[in-house]
Amino acid sequence: MVNLEFNVEACKSCGFCVKVCPKQVLSIGEHINKKGYRYAQSDNPEECIGCKMCAAMCPDAVIEIWK
């Protein structure tokens, strides 16, 4: 079981995490944060294998991972 925690206010919608995820867990959602960006979210968390590639790639350290 892997738990992804998003600091959504720091997300700038660059989409790097969505691109590198090998399991297509992530997407850029419809909701908008205070800075006006549509932030990343986890669509199917049960598929996540905890490889940390999204968090490593995220420029703004938005993603923290619990396993």
Residues near another protein (CB under 8 A): 1, 3, 7, 9-10, 12-16, 19-20, 35, 37, 50, 52-53, 55-61, 63-67
Q: How many residues does the chain have?
A: 67
Tell how far CA 15 is from the center of its chain: 9
Smallest separation (angstroms) from another protein to the CB of 34: 9
Looking only at the bridges linking them, the beta strands covering 38-42 and 26-32 are antiparallel
Rounded Cα–Cα distance for residues 11 and 66 (Å): 19
Smallest separation (angstroms) from another protein to the CB of 64: 6
Smallest separation (angstroms) from another protein to the CB of 44: 19
